């Protein structure tokens, strides 16, 4: 995989090249996309050719041999099918509340005015959702061969945040993605990029035969194409901003960008924390969430100026196609000025009578989604509060209680500095992984590098904490531009993911090279197994062994269940599925029959000895 430093250098070179020779860059990008399709097409033709060739050769030798080796003939075809499926990227229409004919006429008229000015294609629909965002979505018909359906998605919070002119600027920006001559080409490039990663996902489940040169090619090609096409996506954002400036003015476009950044910070730092605090107080979620959110977005806050300054100082990430706020304002030729709340929001002006209905509908939908979890978290908070009271009423605490106390204080009183409590917990409980992890996280948030050693210690104490540790370390090294350290963390995480993927494949595969062990089930578990197998009414005998899974020593046990049918069975696959569904085992398992895997079946019988189940057995 491409390292972070390599990706940054490649993106920088490509951005300079695309600016210097935009036509040549697009031609090269199209040729690079064609290379991927050429390899895919060649692989499909090769797979079909191999299958046809095998059929011809086996028929020439013996039709009986062809019948016996029919499964081998299907292997290349299955591989070709994986490739073809990867190309069929299905795009669903975007989610949201579709405006019905006659609804919000002022909004529809404003959007139509902007669409014509931008020379954007006709819309198949306007949708409103509950996000602080807007989006232009093109949904291809038959991979784009029959054209596209175009949708505009508008977030109600966004309309509450902006005034009418700023909102028009955002809509013009989205129409800039549709028009300007880059919409169809960029959409095609986006679908190609998705296809390559789908190829990799499909190959991950195909086992060793499909993991040769073809897979290695796409593990190089997919990230390379992603970096190459990233520059186009970044360019499109600038072009869309230019469209917004042309239709509404650069100053308006700039103020809209600043307002959106203020709104995002307001939700992150004020509104959603206030909702979490309400969860602690109230057993039921609030009813007017969208109305409360609108009030928060349309108010001023003393930290707004500092938050905008922080956003202006942030640099663009080479994994985010959006330029930084400073880059976008510079391209517009404006400076970040004051962006006060609107006297009247775009939602109030353009939605009319529909606004209160949308607020109520989105609030009710949110309540339905969160109410079960809300009640559970409220109960947990009450229990935590009681427990914290108990611990603080004790004269002394055990090392385990010291860790628990630090965690409860951090969770219940987020404004209290929990670092001293975790320091004490680590001192008193030196083998507690959680205490080391939380102290490490809190120290790195303060740019205290002592947290790095604490996180490594937490992973040593609990290997299952590796994913969480890597996430924190990656964010820290990325924030400080420590690319070598970041690449090391990313490489470690990729290795962990690869081990998990290999272990998952091993659980679904049968091989004569598998290491087989006694099942190790106690009498109660075996009694449950026998009852389950008897309930199917079709199993005459069964042998059960446990399979050793390389690279997953701490994972759940995996069992192989060899089944011999009782009497005739029509539809063996369905019968085996009934066995799998009926079984109750403490882990994962695979059921199979001897005719399908004769050599594996012999090894299972040898390892298991006497059948683990016989029909009629007490």
Task: Calculate mean pLDDT across residues 241-268.
Answer: 95
- The pLDDT-based confidence of 459 (bands split at 50, 70, 90) is very high
| Tally of CB atoms within 10 A around 323 | 19
> Is residue 97 within a helix (H) or strand (E), and if so which, with residue range?
strand 97-98
Structural domains in the chain, sorted by start: 394-506 (1.25.40.10), 516-614 (3.30.300)
Mean pLDDT of 495-505: 84
Q: For residues 593-605, give the mean pLDDT.
A: 88
Greater pLDDT, 232 or 398 = 398
The strand pairing partners of 545, in sequence order, are 518, 560
Higher pLDDT, 52 or 227: 227
Residue 553: pLDDT above 80?
A: no
- The yes-or-no verdict on residue 465 having pLDDT over 90 is yes
Q: Which of 201, 239, 243 is nearest to 222 (CA)?
A: 201
pLDDT band at 191 (very low <50, low <70, confident <90, very high): low
The average confidence (pLDDT) of the chain is 86
Q: Kindly state the average pLDDT of the residues 492-512.
A: 85
Q: Report how far apart, in Å, the C-alpha atoms of 85 and of each of 40, 198, 504 are.
A: 11, 8, 21
Tokens 């303060």 correspond to 446
75 confidence band (pLDDT: 50, 70, 90) = low
Give the tens place of pLDDT for each residue, 116-167. 999 888 999 999 999 999 988 877 665 555 567 889 999 999 999 999 999 9
Say whether pLDDT at 46 is over 80.
no
The confidence band for 209, taking pLDDT boundaries of 50, 70 and 90, is very low
User: What pLDDT is attached to residue 181?
Assistant: 45
Half-sphere exposure of 8 (CA within 13 A, CB side): 13
CA-CA distance, 257 to 329, in Å (whole number)?
8
pLDDT digit string (tens) for 409-437?
Answer: 999 998 899 999 999 999 999 999 999 99
pLDDT of residue 412: 94
**What is the C-alpha to C-alpha distance for residues 271 and 249, in angstroms, rounded to an integer?**
31
- What is the pairing mode between strands 539-547 and 558-565? antiparallel
Phi-psi region of 502 (alpha: psi -120 to 50; beta: other; left: phi over 0): alpha
Share of the chain above pLDDT 90, in %: 52
Using the predicted structure, report yes or no on whether residue 208 has a pLDDT greater than 80. no
**Which residue intervals of 119-248 are DSSP H helices?**
156-161, 164-178, 183-204, 213-248
pTM (2 d.p.): 0.79
Residue 54, pLDDT score: 63
Average pLDDT over residues 552-568: 87
pLDDT of amino acid 210: 46
First and final CA of the chain: distance in angstroms?
56
Residue with structure tokens 């059948």? 611
Could you tell me the CA-to-CA distances from 346 to 107, 160, 359, 611 in Å, in that order? Answer: 9, 6, 14, 74
Of the two residues 180 and 384, the one the predictor is more confident about is 384
Distances (CA, A) of 513 to 148, 550, 552, 590, 603: 51, 12, 17, 16, 10
- Both structure tokens of 555: 């994972």
Angle between helices 213-248 and 105-118 (to 10 degrees): 110
Look up residue 189 and give its two tokens.
Answer: 């490039």
Of residues 254 and 210, more confidence is placed in 254
Question: How far is the C-alpha of 119 from the C-alpha of 127, rounded, in Å?
Answer: 20
Mean pLDDT confidence for 384-408: 96
């Amino acid at each position: 995989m491409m390292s972070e430093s390599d990706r940054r250098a490649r993106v920088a070179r490509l951005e300079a090249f695309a600016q210097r020779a935009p036509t040549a860059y697009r031609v090269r990008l199209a040729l690079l996309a064609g290379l991927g399709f050429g390899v895919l097409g060649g692989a499909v033709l090769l797979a079909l050719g191999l299958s046809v060739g095998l059929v011809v050769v086996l028929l020439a030798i013996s039709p009986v041999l062809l019948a016996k080796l029919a499964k081998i003939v299907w292997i290349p075809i299955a591989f070709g099918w994986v490739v073809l499926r990867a190309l069929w990227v299905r795009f669903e229409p975007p989610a949201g509340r579709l405006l019905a004919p006659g609804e919000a006429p002022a909004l529809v008229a404003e959007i139509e005015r902007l669409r014509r000015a931008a020379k954007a294609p006709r819309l198949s629909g306007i949708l409103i959702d509950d996000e602080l965002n807007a989006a232009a979505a093109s949904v291809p018909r038959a991979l784009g061969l029959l054209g596209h359906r175009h949708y505009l998605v508008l977030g109600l919070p966004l309309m509450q945040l902006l005034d009418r002119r700023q909102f028009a600027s955002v809509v013009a920006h989205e129409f800039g993605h549709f028009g300007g001559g880059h919409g169809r080409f960029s959409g095609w490039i986006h679908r190609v990029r998705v296809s390559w990663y789908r190829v990799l996902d499909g190959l991950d489940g195909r086992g060793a035969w499909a993991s040769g040169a073809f897979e290695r090619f796409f593990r190089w090609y997919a990230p390379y194409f992603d970096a190459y096409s990233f520059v186009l996506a970044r360019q499109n954002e600038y072009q869309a901003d230019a469209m917004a400036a042309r239709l509404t003015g650069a100053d308006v476009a700039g103020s809209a960008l600043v307002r959106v950044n203020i709104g995002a910070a307001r939700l992150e730092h004020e509104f959603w924390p206030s909702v979490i605090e309400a969860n602690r107080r109230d057993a039921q979620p609030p009813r007017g969430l969208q109305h409360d959110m609108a009030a928060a977005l349309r108010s001023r806050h003393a930290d707004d100026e500092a938050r905008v300054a922080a956003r202006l100082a942030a640099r663009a990430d080479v994994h985010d196609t959006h330029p930084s706020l400073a880059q976008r304002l510079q391209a517009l030729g404006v400076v970040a000025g004051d962006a006060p709340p609107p006297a009247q929001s775009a939602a109030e002006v353009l939605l009319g009578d529909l606004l209160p209905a949308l607020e109520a509908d989105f609030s009710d939908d949110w309540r339905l989604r969160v109410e079960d979890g809300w009640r559970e978290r409220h109960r947990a908070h009450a229990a935590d509060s009681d427990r914290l009271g108990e611990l603080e009423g004790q004269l002394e605490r055990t090392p385990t209680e010291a860790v628990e106390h630090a965690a409860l204080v951090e969770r219940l009183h987020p404004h209290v500095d929990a670092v001293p409590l975790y320091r004490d917990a680590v001192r008193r409980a030196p083998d507690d992984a959680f205490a080391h992890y939380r102290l490490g996280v809190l120290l790195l948030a303060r740019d205290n590098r002592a947290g790095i050693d604490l996180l490594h210690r937490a992973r040593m104490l609990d290997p299952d904490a590796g994913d969480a540790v890597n996430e924190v370390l990656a964010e820290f090294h990325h924030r400080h531009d420590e690319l070598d350290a970041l690449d090391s963390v990313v490489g470690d995480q990729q290795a962990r993911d690869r081990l998990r993927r290999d272990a998952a494949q091993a659980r679904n595969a049968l091989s004569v090279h598998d290491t087989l062990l006694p099942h190790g089930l106690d009498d109660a578990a075996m009694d449950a197994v026998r009852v389950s197998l008897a309930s199917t009414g079709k199993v005459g005998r069964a042998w059960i062994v446990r399979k050793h899974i390389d690279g997953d020593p701490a994972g759940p046990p995996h069992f192989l269940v060899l089944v011999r049918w009782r009497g005739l069975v029509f539809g063996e696959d369905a019968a085996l599925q009934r066995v799998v569904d009926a079984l109750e085992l403490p882990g994962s398992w695979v059921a199979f029959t001897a005719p399908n895997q004769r050599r594996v079946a012999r090894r299972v019988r040898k390892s298991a000895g006497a059948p683990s189940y016989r029909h009629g057995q007490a």
